[in-house]
C-alpha cells in the first residue's frame, strides 16, 4: 500500500494554503512545539546580550564588506579554488546550473547522486531535473530524506521535516521501505542510516551546498550534525558543490563570528558536530576524498537584489532559519504555505527576486511587521524594512519602473484611489473633522459585516464623541477635571 | 564564460561609484569572551564534549594504547582501523604485538577504491590523531592527510581521537592564528564536536546518524 | 543612522544602524502636545482624555492641536509612499513648534521617531525637522516615567492584570519595560504573565484585513493566552492592538476585555471609580 501519510497537501495561493494549514491542528501543533523549542535554544545560546549584539554587528559588517567587493571576491575565490584544483562554474539561471551539474555527471557516466543538504539545489529543483534524465538523486540529510520519500518539499530550511511527527515518519518508512512501524526515533534513524550508507558507497557523484566560501584560501566550509555532508563530499569520486554568489566571504577569520552566529541562531548549538572545510580534491598521494571537486556559483535573481543598495542587504543572509523560528506567521502556517523553496521572513524577501512578484504577490503582505525576524537576524538584515520596500514595489504602476522582478504585481487603481481618498482626508483638517463628525454620529449604523475585519472581530463601532471633540471641550474648560 | 561575465558585470554596475567597506574586524569579540585558565580549558572542553555524548579520558601519554585496547575489549569489538605510517600508529602496533590484544588491527594503507565494501561495513572502530582542540566550543581539530585519510574519522561506528593536552586552545580564532591556517589549508580540515547526531524527527536527539555513533577522546598529558 | 541615508554613493553597501544609545531625558516641561492618534480618536477617545488627565496631574499644560489626524503609518506600511509622505508632512508642519510630543501609542511614536526618516529620505530640509521631532517625541509611559518621574500611590482595589505591548512599541520604544515599571509602582496591582507574551497579537494594521486567516489565528491565540492568564483584565498602551483584541473577544462572546493603559493608570492614581 503506497498510501500517502496524513500531511495536508496545500494548494492555491498563499491565503488558500494558509487557510488549509491553519485548519490542520496536527501541523499547527508540530510547528508551535518545534518553534518554541528552537526559540528557547537560541535564547539559551546567547546568555550575554552585549556579546550577542556585538557579534551580530560584526556579522553584519563582515557580510556588508564582502558584498561591497563581491565581484572582486568572487574572482579571488575562483582563482584560489582553481589553484587548489577545484573547477569553478558560473550559472545565471537554475536551468544553467542544472545543465552544468548534469554534464559533470555525464562526463563520469554516473547514474547515482547522493546529496548533502543544499537549499540552492532545492532552488534548482535538481532532483527532478536529474531524475528526468535518468539520474537517481538521493537526499541524505535525514530530514531531507524523509520529505523526499514523501515527494514533498522541505518546510524549514534547517529542519526540513519539522512538519511531521514520529508517527508520520514511521508510517512513511513502513509504506516506502517496508520496515515495521515504530515510535522509537533511534530506530527510525537507524533505518535511515543503513539505507543511506549503501548509497554513499555506491554513488558516482556527491552534491552539497556551501555555508561559507572563503576567497582568501579557496575553501568551501560546510556545517552539519549528521555526517551526511562529510559523506557526500568525501565518499563519492566526484563532489559538486552548488551555492549562491552571496556566500563568499573575504578572509578565513571572517568565518569565526559568522560560524558562531549561524549555529547558535539556528539550533542554539555552540557549534555543529562537523565543520567541514574543503580546499581541494584528493591529492595524488592521498587515499580517499573525491578525485574531482566542482563549485557551481548560481545567480538566480541575486544580482537583481544586489542592484539596489537597500535590497542588497537581503544577501547578508547566512540561512540560519532564526527568522522563521521566531515568526508568528510562519509558526502558524508552516513552510509549505509559502509555496516556494525559502519560507518564512527570509523567504518573503528573497523569493521575489528569484521568481518575481507575479508568482508570489502575497509574500510582502504576509507579515504583521511585528519585527521579531529583524530582532533575531544574526547578520542584522532589516527584514521588516525590506518587506515594506517590497510592498512599495508591489503596488507600483508598471510605468513607475519597479525595482523588483515583476514589480507592480499588486497594482490596483481602486486601491490607489482609496489611499488617495485617505490622504485627502488626513491632510485637510476640515475634511478629517467632518469625517469624525459623521463617524461618531452615525457609528451605530456600522454594518455587522465589514469585510475581512468582521471575520475575526465584532463590527468596529466608533465612539459617540471623538477625542478631538472631548479634548477641545476639556481643554476649553481649563483642563484639570 | 558569458554567465561569469554577465554576473560580474551586473555586480560591478550595482557598485559603480561606491567604495569597498573597510575591514573593521575586531578580534576581541571572538576571543575575549572565550578565554580560560589552563585547568579551566581542559575542564570546559571535557564538559562540552561530554554534554554531547562524547566519552573523555585523561591519561598519561604513554598509557593510551592500553586504553584503546581496553575500550575495544569493553565493547567486544572485533577490529580497529589505524594509520600505520604515523608515530602513534607505530606505538599502537607495538603495543598490540606486545600485549597480544584480540581485536584485529586494520591498516588504512590503500586507496578507498580497493576496499570500499570493507571500509563502509566491516570496520568497528578507528583511532586517529588530532592537531588540537578548542575549549570554547568543545571541538577537536582534525587535519587528515596521506597517512591518515579523512574517512577514518567518519565511517567506523566508534571513533577514538588522541589529543595532546597542550594542543588545546581557548577559541577558534586563536587556533587559526597559532596554526596559521590561512597560510595553507589541507584538502580537508575538520572540526569534530561529538559523535554524529540528528534531531530531524520531532527534534528528538538521536546519535549515530551517518557518522560515528560513539566518539571517545583521549586527552594525553605530557610528562 | 546618518550613514544609512547620506552616504556619498547612493548604491553603497549598507551596514545596520548603530545600536541606539540610552535616551537622555529632559526636565519636566511646562507644556506638551498630545498626539492622540487616529485609532484613539475614533475608538478610544476616553483613553486619550485619561492620558491628558495623567499629564495634567503632573502639572503639565496639554495642547491638543485640532488639525491633527494620522501619523501616516497605514499608508506607509502598505507601500503607498507618497500618500504616507503627504499625511506625514501635514503632521510634521503641525507639530513643528518645539513642544514635546506625547503619544499614547508606541507604534505611532515609533513612526515619528524611526520611520519618518525613511518617509522623507532624500529631503534634507524635512529630514532636519524630522530629527527635531524625533528628539522630542515620547510614548506616554516613557514620558510619565522618565520625564515626569512620577511616584504614584495606588488608590484602587487589589487586582490582577495582564499587559500586552504592541510589537512596534516593544521593539522601537521599549514600552513593555516602561509600562511594567509604572505598573510596579501600583502596590495593589499584580501583573501576571501570559503565554507567548512578546508575540504579536495579529493586528499589523492592514495585515488584519489583507490576511484575515493568519491574523485571526494569531488573535485567537493571543486572546486565549490572556483569558487563561488568570488576569481580571488586559491593559495595553496601543490602540491598534486594543481594537484587535477587544474586537476578537467580543466576537467570541468572551467577557474578558482589555483597556488602554492610560485609562487604567488614571483610575488607579485618581481613585476614580469606573463609570
Domains of chain C: residue spans and CATH: 2-146 (1.20.1050), 153-270 (3.40.50.11810)
User: Is C11 in contact with B19 (Cβ distance < 8 A)?
Assistant: no
Q: Which residue of A has its CA nearest to C204?
A: A368
Contact predicate C49/C104, CB 8 Å: no
User: Is A426 in contact with C14 (Cβ distance < 8 A)?
Assistant: no
Q: Does C58 touch chain A (CB under 8 A)?
A: no
Contacts of B18 in chain C (CB under 8 A): 7-9, 11-13
Contacts of A360 in chain C (CB under 8 A): none
- B81 falls within a domain: yes
- Does the structure show a pLDDT above 90 at C35? yes
| Nearest CA-CA partner of A350 in A246, A264, A259, A250 | A246
Q: Which residue of A has its CA nearest to B201?
A: A166
Question: Tens of pLDDT along B70-85?
Answer: 999 999 999 999 999 9
Contacts of A13 in chain C (CB under 8 A): none
User: Is C213 in contact with A22 (Cβ distance < 8 A)?
Assistant: yes
SS3 content of chain C, % helix, strand, coil (to 5): 50, 10, 40
Give mean pLDDT, residues C210-235.
97
CB-based contacts of C3: which residues, under 8 Å, 6+ apart? Answer: C14, C15, C17
Q: Does B131 touch chain A (CB under 8 A)?
A: no
- The distance of B206 to chain C (nearest Cα, Å) reads 29
User: Is C13 in contact with B17 (Cβ distance < 8 A)?
Assistant: no
pLDDT at residue number A14 = 94
Contacts of C89 in chain A (CB under 8 A): 427
Q: What's the half-sphere exposure (Cβ side, CA atoms, 13 Å) at A324?
A: 29
pLDDT at residue number A380 = 98
- Does the structure show a pLDDT above 50 at A113? yes
Our count of domains for chain B comes to 1
Q: Is A360 exposed, middle or buried (0-12, 13-18, 19+ CB in 10 A)?
A: buried
Grid cell for residue B167: 594542543
Cα A213 to Cα A301: distance, rounded to the nearest angstrom: 19
SS3 B150: helix
Find chains touching chain A: ≥3 CB pairs under 8 Å: B, C
Share of chain C above pLDDT 90, in %: 91
| φ and ψ at residue C164, rounded to 5 degrees | -110, 130
Best mutation target, C4, C7, C10, C11, to test chain B (most B CBs within 10 A): C11
Q: Does B19 touch chain C (CB under 8 A)?
A: yes
With cut-offs at 50, 70 and 90, classify the pLDDT of residue A443: confident
User: Is B196 in contact with A273 (Cβ distance < 8 A)?
Assistant: yes
pLDDT at residue number C8 = 62
- The distance of A231 to chain B (nearest Cα, Å) reads 8
Share of chain A above pLDDT 70, in %: 98
Which stretches of A334-380 are DSSP H helices?
Answer: 344-355, 372-376
Count the neighbouring beta carbons within 10 Å of the beta carbon of residue A99.
Answer: 14
Count the neighbouring beta carbons within 10 Å of the beta carbon of residue B36.
Answer: 17
Question: Tens of pLDDT along B84-121?
Answer: 999 999 999 999 999 999 999 999 999 999 999 999 99
Grid cell for residue A463: 465612539
Cα B116 to Cα A180: distance, rounded to the nearest angstrom: 29
SS3 content of chain B, % helix, strand, coil (to 5): 40, 25, 35
Find chains touching chain C: ≥3 CB pairs under 8 Å: A, B
With cut-offs at 50, 70 and 90, classify the pLDDT of residue A96: very high
Q: Does C15 touch chain B (CB under 8 A)?
A: yes
* DSSP codes of every residue in C52-121: HHHHHHTT-EEE--TT----SHHHHHHT-HHHHHHHHHHHHHHTTTS--EEES-HHHHHIIIIIHHHHTT
Give mean pLDDT, residues C171-194.
95
Question: Tens of pLDDT along A420-434?
Answer: 999 999 999 999 999
Contacts of B16 in chain C (CB under 8 A): 11
- Does the structure show a pLDDT above 50 at C6? no
Q: Does C12 touch chain B (CB under 8 A)?
A: yes
pTM: 0.96
- The distance of A451 to chain C (nearest Cα, Å) reads 8
Question: Tens of pLDDT along A183-220?
Answer: 899 999 999 999 999 999 999 999 999 999 999 999 99
Give mean pLDDT, residues A284-308.
98
SS3 C203: coil
Crossing angle of the two packed helices A70-84 and B2-15, in degrees rounded to 10: 150
- B217 falls within a domain: yes
Give mean pLDDT, residues C212-239.
97
CB-based contacts of B186: which residues, under 8 Å, 6+ apart? Answer: A279, B143, B144, B145
pLDDT at residue number C172 = 87
- Does the structure show a pLDDT above 80 at C274? no
pLDDT at residue number A478 = 80
Best mutation target, B15, B53, B159, B200, to test chain A (most A CBs within 10 A): B200
With cut-offs at 50, 70 and 90, classify the pLDDT of residue B144: very high
SS3 content of chain A, % helix, strand, coil (to 5): 55, 10, 35
User: Is A433 in contact with C200 (Cβ distance < 8 A)?
Assistant: no
Those of residues 297-356 in A touching chain B at CB distance below 8 A are 297, 299, 303, 306-308, 312
Q: Does C127 touch chain A (CB under 8 A)?
A: no
- Does the structure show a pLDDT above 60 at A8? no
CA distances from A397 to A355, A408, A409, A416 (A): 19, 5, 9, 10
Question: Tens of pLDDT along A450-460?
Answer: 889 999 999 99
Contacts of B17 in chain C (CB under 8 A): 9, 11
User: Is C13 in contact with B16 (Cβ distance < 8 A)?
Assistant: no
Contacts of B12 in chain A (CB under 8 A): 71
With cut-offs at 50, 70 and 90, classify the pLDDT of residue B153: very high
Q: Does A68 touch chain B (CB under 8 A)?
A: yes
Determine the distance from the C-alpha atom of residue C120 to the mean position of all C-alpha atoms in its chain, rounded to a whole number. Answer: 21
| Nearest CA-CA partner of A105 in A130, A78, A139, A138 | A130
- B115 falls within a domain: yes
Delimit the domains of chain A by residue range: 47-303, 413-476
Give mean pLDDT, residues A296-314.
98
Average confidence score pLDDT of chain A? 94
| Nearest CA-CA partner of C12 in A8, B20, A131, B203 | B20
Share of chain B above pLDDT 90, in %: 97
pLDDT at residue number C9 = 81
**Could you list the residue range(s) of the whole structural domain that residue B93 is in?**
36-221
With cut-offs at 50, 70 and 90, classify the pLDDT of residue C4: very low
What CATH number does the domain located at A47-303 have? 3.40.50.10420
Cα B145 to Cα B67: distance, rounded to the nearest angstrom: 25
CA distances from C129 to A459, C36, C106, C133, C143 (A): 39, 20, 20, 6, 21
pLDDT at residue number B223 = 61
Q: Which of A156-170, A287-301, C84-98 has the lowest mean pLDDT?
A: A156-170
- The distance of B223 to chain A (nearest Cα, Å) reads 31
User: Is B137 in contact with A271 (Cβ distance < 8 A)?
Assistant: yes
The answer to whether ipTM exceeds 0.95 is: yes
Grid cell for residue C43: 475608538
- B1 falls within a domain: no
Q: Does C9 touch chain B (CB under 8 A)?
A: yes
**How open is the CA angle B41-B43-B46, to the nearest 5 degrees?**
110
Cα A290 to Cα B185: distance, rounded to the nearest angstrom: 17
pLDDT at residue number A481 = 53
User: Is A456 in contact with C248 (Cβ distance < 8 A)?
Assistant: yes
Those of residues 15-34 in A touching chain B at CB distance below 8 A are 30, 34
Question: In the block, which residue shows the cell 449604523?
Answer: A445
Contacts of B211 in chain A (CB under 8 A): 226-227, 230-231, 273-274
Contact predicate B92/B68, CB 8 Å: yes
Q: Does B29 touch chain A (CB under 8 A)?
A: yes
- Does the structure show a pLDDT above 80 at A5? no
CATH number reported for the structural domain that contains residue B164 in this entry: 3.40.50.10420
Contacts of B109 in chain A (CB under 8 A): 287
pLDDT at residue number A6 = 42
pLDDT at residue number A204 = 98
Grid cell for residue C153: 500611590
CA distances from C195 to B183, C164, C204, C225 (A): 52, 11, 20, 5
pLDDT at residue number A480 = 62
| Cα radius of gyration rounded to whole Å, chain C | 19
pLDDT at residue number A148 = 95
pLDDT at residue number A1 = 32
Best mutation target, B10, B16, B17, to test chain C (most C CBs within 10 A): B17
- The distance of C27 to chain A (nearest Cα, Å) reads 21
Best mutation target, C4, C6, C7, C9, to test chain B (most B CBs within 10 A): C9
Amino acid at each position: 500500500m503506497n498510501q500517502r501519510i496524513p500531511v495536508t497537501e496545500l494548494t492555491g495561493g498563499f491565503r488558500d494554503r494558509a487557510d488549509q494549514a491553519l485548519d490542520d491542528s496536527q501541523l499547527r501543533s508540530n510547528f508551535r512545539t518545534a518553534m518554541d523549542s528552537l526559540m528557547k535554544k537560541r535564547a539559551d545560546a546567547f546568555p550575554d546580550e552585549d556579546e550577542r549584539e556585538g557579534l551580530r554587528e560584526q556579522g553584519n559588517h563582515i557580510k556588508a564588506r564582502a558584498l561591497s567587493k563581491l565581484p572582486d571576491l568572487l574572482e579571488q575565490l575562483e582563482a584560489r579554488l582553481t589553484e587548489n584544483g577545484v573547477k569553478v562554474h558560473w550559472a545565471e539561471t537554475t536551468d544553467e546550473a542544472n545543465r552544468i551539474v548534469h554534464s559533470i555527471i555525464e562526463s563520469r557516466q554516473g547514474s547515482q547522486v547522493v546529496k548533502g543538504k543544499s537549499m540552492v539545489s532545492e532552488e534548482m529543483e535538481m532532483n527532478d531535473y536529474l531524475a528526468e534524465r535518468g539520474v537517481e538523486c538521493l537526499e541524505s540529510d535525514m530530514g531531507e530524506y524523509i520529505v523526499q520519500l514523501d515527494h514533498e518539499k522541505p518546510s524549514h530550511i534547517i529542519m526540513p521535516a519539522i512538519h511531521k511527527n514520529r508517527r508520520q515518519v514511521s508510517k512513511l518508512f513502513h509504506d516506502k521501505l517496508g520496515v515495521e512501524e515504530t515510535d522509537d526515533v533511534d530506530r527510525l534513524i537507524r533505518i535511515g542510516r543503513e539505507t543511506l550508507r549503501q548509497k554513499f558507497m555506491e554513488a558516482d557523484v556527491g552534491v552539497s551546498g556551501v555555508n561559507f566560501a572563503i576567497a582568501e584560501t579557496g575553501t568551501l566550509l560546510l556545517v552539519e550534525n549528521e555526517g551526511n555532508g562529510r559523506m557526500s563530499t568525501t565518499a563519492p569520486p566526484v563532489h559538486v558543490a552548488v551555492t549562491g554568489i552571496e556566500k563568499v566571504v573575504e578572509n578565513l577569520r571572517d568565518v569565526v563570528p559568522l560560524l558562531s552566529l549561524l549555529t547558535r541562531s539556528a539550533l542554539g548549538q555552540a557549534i555543529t558536530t562537523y565543520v567541514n572545510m574543503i580546499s581541494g580534491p584528493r591529492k595524488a598521494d592521498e587515499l580517499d576524498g573525491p578525485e574531482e571537486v566542482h563549485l557551481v556559483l548560481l545567480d538566480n535573481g541575486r544580482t537583481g537584489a544586489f542592484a539596489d543598495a537597500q535590497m542588497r542587504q537581503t544577501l547578508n543572509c547566512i540561512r540560519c532559519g532564526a527568522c522563521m523560528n521566531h515568526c508568528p506567521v510562519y509558526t502558524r502556517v508552516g513552510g509549505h504555505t509559502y509555496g516556494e523553496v525559502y519560507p518564512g521572513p527570509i523567504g518573503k524577501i528573497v523569493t521575489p527576486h528569484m521568481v518575481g512578484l507575479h508568482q508570489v504577490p502575497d509574500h510582502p503582505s504576509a507579515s504583521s511587521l511585528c519585527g521579531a525576524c529583524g530582532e533575531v537576524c544574526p547578520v542584522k538584515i532589516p527584514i521588516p524594512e525590506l518587506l515594506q520596500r517590497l510592498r512599495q514595489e508591489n503596488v507600483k504602476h508598471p510605468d513607475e519602473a519597479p525595482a523588483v522582478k515583476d514589480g507592480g504585481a499588486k497594482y490596483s487603481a481602486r486601491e490607489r484611489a482609496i489611499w488617495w481618498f485617505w490622504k485627502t482626508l488626513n491632510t485637510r483638517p476640515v475634511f478629517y473633522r467632518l469625517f469624525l463628525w459623521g463617524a461618531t454620529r452615525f457609528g451605530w449604523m456600522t454594518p455587522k459585516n465589514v469585510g475581512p475585519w468582521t471575520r475575526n472581530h465584532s463590527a468596529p463601532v466608533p465612539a459617540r464623541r471623538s477625542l478631538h471633540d472631548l479634548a477641545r471641550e476639556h481643554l476649553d474648560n481649563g483642563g484639570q477635571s | 564564460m558569458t554567465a561569469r561575465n554577465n554576473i560580474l558585470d551586473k555586480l560591478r554596475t550595482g557598485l559603480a561609484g561606491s567604495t569597498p567597506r573597510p575591514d573593521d574586524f575586531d578580534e576581541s569579540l571572538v576571543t575575549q569572551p572565550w578565554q580560560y585558565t589552563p585547568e579551566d580549558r581542559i575542564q570546559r572542553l571535557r564538559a562540552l564534549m561530554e554534554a554531547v555524548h562524547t566519552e573523555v579520558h585523561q591519561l598519561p601519554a604513554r598509557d593510551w594504547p592500553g586504553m584503546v585496547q581496553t575500550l575495544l575489549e569493553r565493547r567486544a569489538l572485533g577490529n580497529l582501523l589505524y594509520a600505520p605510517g604515523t608515530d602513534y600508529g607505530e606505538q599502537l602496533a607495538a603495543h598490540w604485538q606486545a600485549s597480544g590484544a584480540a581485536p584485529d588491527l586494520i591498516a588504512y594503507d590503500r586507496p578507498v577504491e580497493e576496499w570500499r565494501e570493507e571500509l563502509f561495513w566491516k570496520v568497528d572502530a578507528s583511532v586517529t590523531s588530532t592537531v588540537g582542540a578548542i575549549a570554547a566550543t568543545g571541538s577537536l581539530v582534525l587535519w587528515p592527510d596521506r597517512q591518515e585519510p579523512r574517512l577514518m574519522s567518519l565511517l567506523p561506528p566508534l571513533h577514538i581521537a588522541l589529543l595532546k593536552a597542550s594542543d588545546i586552545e581557548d577559541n577558534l580564532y586563536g587556533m587559526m592564528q597559532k596554526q596559521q591556517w590561512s597560510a595553507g589549508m589541507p584538502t580537508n580540515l575538520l572540526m569534530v564536536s561529538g559523535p554524529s547526531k540528528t534531531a530531524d524527527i520531532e527534534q528528538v536527539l538521536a546519535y549515530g546518524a551517518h557518522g560515528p555513533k560513539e566518539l571517545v577522546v583521549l586527552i594525553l598529558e605530557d610528562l | 543612522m546618518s550613514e544609512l541615508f547620506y552616504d556619498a554613493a547612493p548604491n553603497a553597501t549598507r551596514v545596520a544602524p548603530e545600536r541606539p544609545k540610552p535616551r537622555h531625558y529632559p526636565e519636566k516641561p511646562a507644556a506638551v502636545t498630545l498626539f492622540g492618534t487616529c485609532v484613539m480618536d475614533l475608538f478610544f477617545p476616553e483613553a486619550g482624555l485619561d492620558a491628558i488627565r495623567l499629564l495634567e496631574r503632573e502639572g503639565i499644560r496639554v495642547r491638543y492641536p485640532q488639525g491633527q489626524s494620522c501619523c501616516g503609518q497605514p499608508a506607509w506600511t502598505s507601500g503607498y509612499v507618497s500618500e504616507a509622505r503627504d499625511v506625514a508632512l501635514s503632521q510634521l508642519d503641525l507639530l513643528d513648534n518645539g513642544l514635546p510630543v506625547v503619544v499614547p501609542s508606541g507604534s505611532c511614536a515609533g513612526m515619528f521617531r524611526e520611520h519618518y526618516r525613511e518617509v522623507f529620505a532624500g529631503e534634507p530640509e524635512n529630514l532636519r525637522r524630522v530629527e527635531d521631532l524625533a528628539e522630542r517625541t515620547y510614548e506616554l509611559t516613557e514620558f510619565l516615567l522618565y520625564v515626569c518621574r512620577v511616584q504614584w500611590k495606588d488608590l484602587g482595589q487589589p487586582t490582577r492584570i495582564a499587559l500586552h505591548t504592541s510589537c512596534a512599541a516593544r521593539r522601537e520604544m521599549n514600552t513593555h519595560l516602561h509600562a511594567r515599571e509604572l505598573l510596579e509602582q501600583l502596590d495593589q496591582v499584580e501583573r501576571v504573565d501570559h503565554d507567548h507574551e512578546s508575540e504579536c497579537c495579529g493586528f499589523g494594521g492592514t495585515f488584519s484585513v489583507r490576511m484575515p486567516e493568519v491574523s485571526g489565528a494569531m488573535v485567537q491565540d493571543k486572546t486565549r493566552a490572556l483569558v487563561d492568564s488568570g488576569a481580571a483584565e488586559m491593559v495595553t498602551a496601543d490602540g491598534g492592538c486594543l481594537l484587535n483584541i477587544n474586537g476578537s473577544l467580543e466576537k467570541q462572546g468572551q467577557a474578558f476585555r482589555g483597556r488602554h493603559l492610560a485609562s487604567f493608570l488614571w483610575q488607579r492614581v485618581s481613585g476614580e471609580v469606573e463609570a
